[in-house]
Amino acid sequence: MIEINNVSFSYDGKKVLDKVQLSLDEKHCYAIIGPNGGGKTTFLQLLMGFLTPESGSISINNKSPVEFRNSIGYVPQTPSFDKLFPLTVEQLVLMGALSELSPFGFWPKKVKEKAKKALETVGLIHKAKEPIGELSGGQIQRAYIARAIMNHPKILLLDEPTASLDPDVVKEMIALLKKLKNDMMILIVSHDLESVMNIADFVICVQNQVSLMDVHDVCHHFSLGVYHQLRGKK
């Protein structure tokens, strides 16, 4: 599904990703881990074509990231918004289909239906008409997931969706992602290794260089911020 061939990327001459070589299968869920500033968010931005590799190439389903972008759902890291901004949960989700807004400012019925389905999937339909400022942290994340999945993406990218959530809310989030995993490829950035291990088949460790490993080869030192493979494994 995703072929990354010798990709390097720098910001202002400072190398963030160096010669990344990866082949990712649509049937699997990948956890992306690594230290702060290691390049995880940059990696996702490259997959969506918002950034361009300085060398190497990325192809997704034999298309460029820009060509494939419409089939990718994205939940950004700590989405920031003005809690007083008068936007309802339903309106936030509809923003996932902005290109379908009519010139007169109306949402076609089929688009509203898709937003409704997405809100049902994430368990937030009862909040559809409420202002987003009144949601809890976990509910806001669910609303952003609904926005990301309303167009039935082939790939869902989530950038630290469990950060600063209570353990019980994290569990609910993981259960939701397990459900979504049946319908789409999921790449999830997280520092909460223990939780994402419940859904991930593979782990991508991003710290300038990128390595792919089976979840069973992940060392528990990772949760202490020391990223290496289990001794004896290559």
Residues that bind ligand ATP (CB under 6 A): 11-12, 16, 34, 36-42, 77
Indicate the residue among 12 and 168 with the shorter CB distance to ligand ATP: 12
Q: Which does 5 bind (CB under 5 to 8 A by kind): ligand ATP, Mg ion, none?
A: none
DSSP letter at 101 equals: S
Q: Which does 50 bind (CB under 5 to 8 A by kind): ligand ATP, Mg ion, none?
A: none
- Reported as type and span, the H/E element at residue 179 is helix 167-180
Smallest gap from residue 191 Cβ to Mg ion (A):
10
Smallest gap from residue 77 Cβ to ligand ATP (A):
6
Smallest gap from residue 216 Cβ to ligand ATP (A):
24
Q: Which does 11 bind (CB under 5 to 8 A by kind): Mg ion, ligand ATP, none?
A: ligand ATP
Catalogue the long-range contacts made by 168-171 (C-beta closer than 8 Å, 24 or more residues apart). 169/136, 169/137, 169/138, 170/195, 171/195
Smallest gap from residue 177 Cβ to Mg ion (A):
18
Helices (H) and strands (E) in the chain, counts: 7, 9
102 HSE (CA, 13 A, CB side):
9
Residue type at 42?
T
